[in-house]
Structure 1
């Protein structure tokens, strides 16, 4: 069995990050610790080869993390999971924001080559963009592993960590149906993203299961940003027979809905109902009890980083022996706090 850096760390009773620092000749390691690590390397007959030589191609211990919206707290929580895991293994994280702009995304891919990054974590802007797939395939061919998070790509198969968006959305809408709602609106996510489409399909599946006809008066197109959601709420709520409940496709969409309700004096769980997707921590401090489809975002970041590190090590230690693609799907959990209720008729 091939010995890896984690085996050395266990033998030396240190972290894998410490082993990485010793291999890189870092001056910030005690001499006694360094001797213990080197003894473990010799005892296990570990050959650091490519890893010790900056991954054989002169690459660094730097990881690129591409996110579409730096203001969204979902990505902040994801980043915590990524960075904490990276720290444990001696990697550095370089964050790049695209503002959901494909051109910015493609410029980042060019930077990957310039900066000699060891690997990249990517949340794609557009699931159907062929150029994005071409870029990522090229980078992998050049031995830069790629792991997708939250959003997949239609035209390429890459490692990734995702959530069960369809099931989460279906659970939320079925909950509203059980509360007696029949006019349930949704503000969709962008059609170019996997979460947007999966949550839309979950909404439709719940209505179909309960034999509720789809009514496009209760469907608004959003973009996962609060401003678009707030504007959409005017159209949804200021019509004849407005919806009694809203399923918001993400946390920022929920904030746009809440702004509208606040400005119009509408009480959650009394005048109108709302279930969002993903927690919004700031609401806990304001006393707003919002029911949500929750998921372990921190773990998503951890799992993605662990998967990327494994790919980097596989390529560095034996580029011809890389196991097949892996996709991890994390479950969702419906957390009810009362905003799903409704006392109207």
Structure 2
């Protein structure tokens, strides 16, 4: 018998039981005698039977599969979130389909529709920009969607995040306390709400509270990459900027190396605060001061929230805000 042709009918025939009994064994139903269960499991093992998830999904109207949309699988921020998602999915016996969207809103909409065509029970979305087209796709989705580490000013979907405004405000406050009054705000695209409406807002609030005038010439919108940071370093120094708040660790690492390669001492001559505290923050020298986010927990809580919604359980808070911290390392004084 060819393995790929083994069906639940074959298992039932070889075990001498009904297909319903085999199904109860597969689903962990306790209403099966142990001797019968052992016999069925032995046949399943002998035939190397693998239940057809699609067929089971058609029968139960559930595929126990969750789609996860990630903008860049190589990004330490999102991969840490994905670990938390996967662990909780495993705990609740859901399978994961991971889809890379290349941080492209057009592709995100396509990937969203592709996952729904696979009959996933729910979707966790990780992305940096929520545009109107994507919001419309969220609203017409046939399955629940939860956002993890992603913000939407219109609160279209449930989400799990930290308070990005307060976090950036705190790190900016510390740079001002260190005597800096010409502090740059350096981010990826300002089309992204997380940068424009949250992080930049926190930066502005800190300046205002400390009596420092806001200067839009100190706001730098970049591609958010290591190379963008590295190439920006010289310009920051020439403008006599003495410190920077940076929105992601790769960008911050580029600025750091750009400074040190130009013999500019960090933190004596230039202080640097980053935002995600991924492995990069601790791998570079000097190590980067950073906001500390519970990245694993953001993913885990998002997955748990999704399971509640999929199972129609009571949800007390659709937009969960987790705590954050600040760690000062060697890139600040």
TM-score (norm 2): 0.79
Q: What is the CA deviation profile of residues 269-309 of structure 1, one whole-angstrom value per residue up to 9, with x for unaligned ones?
A: 21211011011324534553211111111100110000001
RMSD: 2.9
Structure 1: give runs of 5+ residues left out of the alignment. 1-20, 36-51, 315-320
Mark the CA change 1:274 to 1:31 in structure 2 (over 3 Å): closer, same or farther. farther
Q: Say which is worse superposed, 159-168 or 66-75, in terms of deviation.
A: 66-75
Q: Give the equivalent residue in structure 2 for 1:304.
A: 302
CA distance in 2, matches of 1:107, 1:227: 29
Question: Are 1:130 and 2:135 counterparts?
Answer: no
The count of aligned residue pairs is 293
The answer to whether the 8 A contact 1:251-1:277 is kept is: yes
Aligned ranges 1:165-244 → 2 under 5 Å: 165-197=164-196, 198-239=198-239, 242-244=240-242
Aligned ranges 1:51-130 → 2 under 5 Å: 54=57, 58-127=61-130, 129-130=131-132
Q: Give the equivalent residue in structure 2 for 1:260.
A: 258
Q: Say which is worse superposed, 176-185 or 151-160, in terms of deviation.
A: 151-160
Could you say what secondary structure the match of 2:272 adopts? Answer: strand
Q: Give the equivalent residue in structure 1 for 2:5.
A: none
- Detail structure 1 runs of 4+ shifted over 6 Å in the superposition: 21-24
The answer to whether the 8 A contact 2:167-2:202 is kept is: yes
Q: Give the equivalent residue in structure 1 for 2:11.
A: none
Task: Work out which of the two has the higher radius of gyration on C-alpha atoms and give 1 or 2.
Answer: 2
Displacement of 1:163: 1.0
Aligned ranges 1:18-37 → 2 under 5 Å: 25=26, 32=34
Q: What is the CA deviation profile of residues 244-293 of structure 1, one whole-angstrom value per residue up to 9, with x for unaligned ones?
A: 11111122221221221232122222121101101132453455321111
The answer to whether the 8 A contact 1:245-1:274 is kept is: yes
Structure 2: give runs of 5+ residues left out of the alignment. 1-21, 38-54
Could you say what secondary structure the match of 2:263 adopts? Answer: coil
Mark the CA change 1:55 to 1:329 in structure 2 (over 3 Å): closer, same or farther. farther
CA distance in 2, matches of 1:149, 1:271: 37
Displacement of 1:222: 2.4
CA distance in 2, matches of 1:33, 1:213: 78
Displacement of 1:56: 6.8
CA distance in 2, matches of 1:24, 1:223: 53
Mark the CA change 1:236 to 1:86 in structure 2 (over 3 Å): closer, same or farther. same
Mark the CA change 1:308 to 1:288 in structure 2 (over 3 Å): closer, same or farther. same
